[in-house]
Structure 1
Amino acid sequence: MGSEEPGRARGRVVMLVDNAVAGDSRVQKSAASAAAAGWEVFLLGASKDRKRHHWRHEGAEVRLLPKPSPLSVRRHLLRTPLVRRPLAYRDARIANYRTQWVRAWQAELRTRRAAVAADRREGREGPGLTLRHGWLYVPRLAAAATRRWVALRVRERTVLEGRRARMDGVLDRLAVVLWRTLLGRNAWRRLEPHLLDFELAFAKEIDLLRPDIIHAHDCRMLGVGARAAVRQRGAGRRVKLLWDAHEYVPGVRPHSARWQAGMCGYERAYAPYADAVATVSPTLARLLQVRHGLRELPEVLLNAPVGELTPDQREDPVPDLRELCGVGEDTPLLVYSGGMAPQRGITTVVDGLAGLPGVHAALVAPDPGARYVREIECRAADAGVGDRLHVVPYVPYWQVVPFLSRADVGVIPIHHWPNHELALITKFFEYAHARLPLVVSDVRTMAQTTRETGQGEVFQAEDTESYVRAVRAVLDVPGRYRAAYDEPGLLEQWTWEAQAQKLDRLYARLLTDEPEPLREGDENADLCGGAREDRAAAGRPVRGQGTSRDGRRRGRARGAAGQRRDGAVPR
């Protein structure tokens, strides 16, 4: 695994992803199709167990790299609570110790009182016994007072932990403003320093591979790819950076204001270094162009399923969804496939079962044992529908379509978040190729497409009654909705093979483009400043997007090439 010279393929592509590859169908399909087109592909991901792993995937070499995450520890968790909650215990272990110690003290006092009472019952009255009984009032009062004091400090500790987890307190908001003011686009180093853990884990491996193209999947890998490209150019090698934006970061449900400010700033700092940009929908492509002042509209690569399988893939038996759920052919079966999180609307599916007698629902989850999945199962049990909810694991991406086809309806109950409004998500295309009638929430792009094609019904997001009505309408006449897939060319345009051709052309264009000449002053680029601040034009926000909050001024849009300083060290 040492230094490796590029082979005689069309070029060496190093793909970067912030996960363990398995379960990320877009990344796997990109690697496989690029390898099939003659590119030498290395796919680098982050190992879950901090051990190095490698295997071959459809002609591409996958390497999972250990990624220790010491920078993921929030610094404020290590600080004294005196400013936020002065009465709170500074450490949860101390709180637990003091709580248990007071309980033990009171238990001991109860035993001593019982001993005095036993002596009295046995007739052992006397001055000594009376004194012993009277003296117990002092420690009992002290123990009761200590218990209340400890309970108060424990409550303060609980409140402190909640505030620290949400990071929505006054001090948190002031910290965001402070670091934005002091560091501008580089505030992410203080707000989300764990992003540097990816840099330290991936940098050496990328440098040893000496890529011709770095394909950075999503925001976290953008900075890693940008810095690697700078190092390669500094060593005299020509390399191109492709940023594949899977999501609209300002539109993702934020973990906190700190997270959103840090991630948005990180994306803005490194977007100018991309030689080309790809994304998942036309709407998101236009937003990215405006937000980052890109010269060209990003290439749209839909999250569509593969249409043709390899001989090895065809040999693998496909699990039977109905068999895994334990239901027969005559049982109406709904299916949801994808990530499990509150904003995905899974509770609507569970709550809707009460209004759909005899209907079962399957949740195809990446981790059936995850905490949120267990909470969903408990919710179903409490509602009396636990026997009609089935959680099953993911299957390989090439088996998803035939696996899902055993259901009767595909559901997409996601909530209104800007990122959800912008694209046709992966499961939309997978359901379509499985020829499933759809029931989708009224998020903009999917609702509009579903109404236009007639492939399903739309309901009001987070409205269980509306969802139940939509499911009933589809189950009453499923053939009407399946007929939409007979429209010539509809499914053909929604295949990964069509997207792979565009990706191949994009790779080829990157390597045939002439390198940009240095502009006056670039020889002395600010080695600490990195890319110049772009002046992205303000675009019309989508619903829920609101005003940009990444702490940057706006002005005339400029091209990415005009913002990047070749040879500068991005920060």
Structure 2
Amino acid sequence: MLVDNGVHGDSRVQKAARSAAEAGWEVILVGILKGAATEDSWRIGDAEVRLIRMPRRLTHPVAHRRALLRRPLAYKPGPESKRRLNKLKARRDDLNFRLSEIKVNRAAGAPRWAELAGKARLAAPYLVNKAAFKWVKLRAAELRRLQESQQDPNSRIDRAALRFWQRLHGDRAWRRLDPELWDFELAFAPVVDELRPDLIHAHDFRMLGVGARAVMRARAGGRDVKLLWDAHEFVPGIIGRPTNLRWLPAQVAYVREHAPYADAVITVSSTLADLLRTTHDLPEQPAVVLNAPPRALTAEQRTTPVPDIRAMCGIDAATPLLVYCGGINPSRGVDIMVRALTRLPEAHVALVSVHPNGKAPIMYELEELAAELGVADRLHLLPYVPHWQVSAFVAPADLGVIPIHHKPNHEIALITKFFEYAHGGLPMVVSDVRTMAEATRATGHGEVFRAEDLDDYVRAVRTVLADPEKYRAAYDRPGVLEQWTWEAQARVMDEVYTRLLPNHPGPVAPATTGAATPVVPEQRATVPVR
């Protein structure tokens, strides 16, 4: 398995590695070592995790384009302008030091002519340094203007350059548009080649290219290696980088070039499966492996007690509690939960979103908004819990909220928190993004509101709070939660593995090291364990 992150925060990758190993496959998961961390190898169940360093060998062309025709006086991007400016500052400081020495000597009784002679000697160097300062600042300012224009998404020159490379190279244009993608290849290729795998499970789009190239090298050497692409999202639907109009077209081209090399594709929803098959003209429908939580805990996972969310918020069991889990950014729409508190006077909001490294800047903005609205005492920012504890942690709340905005990838996903809320027995209030709204209406476990509509959000919340047991009862229908378990998804993944390697020695039954603990709906009122 290959993944372009550090594994720790990626529950889908962790679950996939653990379950494949439990099914008897030998699993080595290779990710990226970030920061100053020293840990580079550990185990997830019977799966081995190896983190490798990925030096930034190649930079985006915007970082080093000089563009002489647009800004001929601009310095070449890089440290040169700062180096020159600091050199001039040092020279100025030296001249000031010598001038101060002349003044001190004069005050100590040195003759007047010595002072005048000393100042005369410094006049020319001082004027030259001052003129050089102006010249360097001018060229540095031209560099800033050049970089601003290069990051302007409406730049006609850059748009023309983008179209030129696309027409010249087609899907191979990513090599010019975003050569940083090569960094993944340079880091992962020698590791994969040394491992000599039978199957490469490429998580998400960056690893698709790495896996495709490794497969071709292996086949050229006489080994028949299979490639499974695990598509976590629809790349054309990713929100691009607003200051780099080349980034998203490069990623789209990268995926289009390498998608045909996949021997099988799995993805996170049936809607995305349809899109992938149409977009890439796949010979068969991708298998759907939902981002569902496991229904049972391992013996290892049961050793950590589940925190009490209501105790952390300082509220009793009778106080209405609305919960949101996961990262926060403007398109997640979490601010509507804070604004609605002014119209839900008894309710509290818990955002289970604080990373171990601390609060994200947007969290401080939400706290300021809550203070301005006079509801700061009812907004609680709580730390993340391990992914296997999320359902049990949020179960004592009254409802789970998913207020995401209409974005291309939001429309097609059944996101992880959707299933985590369900396994906690939580009624839901979700925005009307396509796939999630359809699932909520079909199952009847929550209410749907118009995204970004405060009035409709308040209506949905009040409706659920008026009769929460009506929505909880939807989970008791046979088959509802069973289809939303990771165990069911792992079976689909194992079937794909077996189909790709039909002649491979069959997986062995995993040894039982202790009974797993299932989710018990009746435990919701106390401290549920999943």
Q: TM-score range by the shorter chain?
A: 0.7 to 0.9
Partner of 1:548: none
Partner of 1:318: 306
Partner of 1:277: 265
CA–CA distance in 1 between the matches of 2:70 and 2:325? 42
Change beyond 3 A, Cα 1:510–1:328:
same
Q: Deviations over 1:409-452 (max 9, x none)?
A: 11111111121111211111111111111111110111111112
CA RMSD, aligned part only? 3.0
1:220 aligns with 2:220: no
Partner of 1:342: 330
TM-score (norm 2): 0.79
Superposed counterparts of 1:397-408, under 5 Å? 397-408=387-398
Partner of 2:48: 61
Matched-pair contact (CA < 8 Å) for 1:244–1:277: yes
Q: Which moved more, 1:350-359 or 1:37-46?
A: 350-359
Matched-pair contact (CA < 8 Å) for 1:77–1:164: no
Partner of 1:121: none
Partner of 1:306: 294
1:458 aligns with 2:458: no
Q: Which moved more, 1:216-225 or 1:368-377?
A: 368-377
1:238 aligns with 2:228: no
Partner of 2:155: 169
CA–CA distance in 2 between the matches of 1:469 and 1:182? 54
Partner of 1:447: 437
Q: 46, 71, 76: which is aligned to 2:62? A: 76
SS in 2 for 1:40: coil
Partner of 2:99: none
1:385 Cα deviation after fit: 3.0
Matched-pair contact (CA < 8 Å) for 1:89–1:153: yes
Q: Deviations over 1:72-107 (max 9, x none)?
A: x43323344765567988779969979x99xx9xxx
Name the count of aligned residue pairs: 457
Partner of 2:13: 27
1:162 Cα deviation after fit: 5.2
Superposed counterparts of 1:403-414, under 5 Å? 403-414=393-404
Unaligned runs of 5+ in 2: 97-129, 505-530
Matched-pair contact (CA < 8 Å) for 1:203–1:228: yes
Change beyond 3 A, Cα 1:183–1:377:
farther
Q: 362, 370, 376: which is aligned to 2:366? A: 376
Matched-pair contact (CA < 8 Å) for 1:23–1:366: no
Q: 500, 503, 508: which is aligned to 2:493? A: 503
Matched-pair contact (CA < 8 Å) for 1:346–1:413: yes
1:253 Cα deviation after fit: 1.8
Partner of 2:507: none
SS in 2 for 1:490: coil
Q: Which moved more, 1:61-70 or 1:214-223?
A: 61-70
AA partner of residue 266 (structure 1): Y
CA–CA distance in 2 between the matches of 1:166 and 1:436? 45
Q: Deviations over 1:506-559 (max 9, x none)?
A: 111101179xxxxxxxxxxxxxxxxxxxxxxxxxxxxxxxxxxxxxxxxxxxxx
Partner of 1:291: 279
AA partner of residue 56 (structure 1): R
1:433 aligns with 2:423: yes
Matched-pair contact (CA < 8 Å) for 1:207–1:228: yes
1:354 Cα deviation after fit: 2.8
Matched-pair contact (CA < 8 Å) for 1:52–1:63: no
Unaligned runs of 5+ in 1: 1-14, 109-142, 515-571
SS in 2 for 1:237: coil
Q: Deviations over 1:384-426 (max 9, x none)?
A: 3333222222222211110121221111111111211112111
Partner of 1:538: none
Change beyond 3 A, Cα 1:336–1:172:
farther
Identical amino acids, percent of aligned pairs: 57
Partner of 1:266: 254
SS in 2 for 1:311: coil
AA partner of residue 308 (structure 2): D
1:470 aligns with 2:460: yes
Change beyond 3 A, Cα 1:338–1:150:
same
Change beyond 3 A, Cα 1:95–1:200:
closer
Change beyond 3 A, Cα 1:213–1:345:
same
Q: 414, 425, 433: which is aligned to 1:424? A: 414
AA partner of residue 4 (structure 2): D
CA–CA distance in 2 between the matches of 1:55 and 1:95? 43
1:469 Cα deviation after fit: 1.9
Q: Which moved more, 1:411-420 or 1:267-276?
A: 411-420
Change beyond 3 A, Cα 1:162–1:462:
farther
TM-score (norm 1): 0.74
Q: 171, 174, 190: which is aligned to 1:204? A: 190
Partner of 2:176: 190
Partner of 2:509: none
Partner of 2:119: none
CA–CA distance in 2 between the matches of 1:84 and 1:380? 47
Change beyond 3 A, Cα 1:434–1:385:
same
CA–CA distance in 1 between the matches of 2:73 and 2:318? 62
AA partner of residue 254 (structure 1): G
Superposed counterparts of 1:128-139, under 5 Å? none
Matched-pair contact (CA < 8 Å) for 2:166–2:173: yes
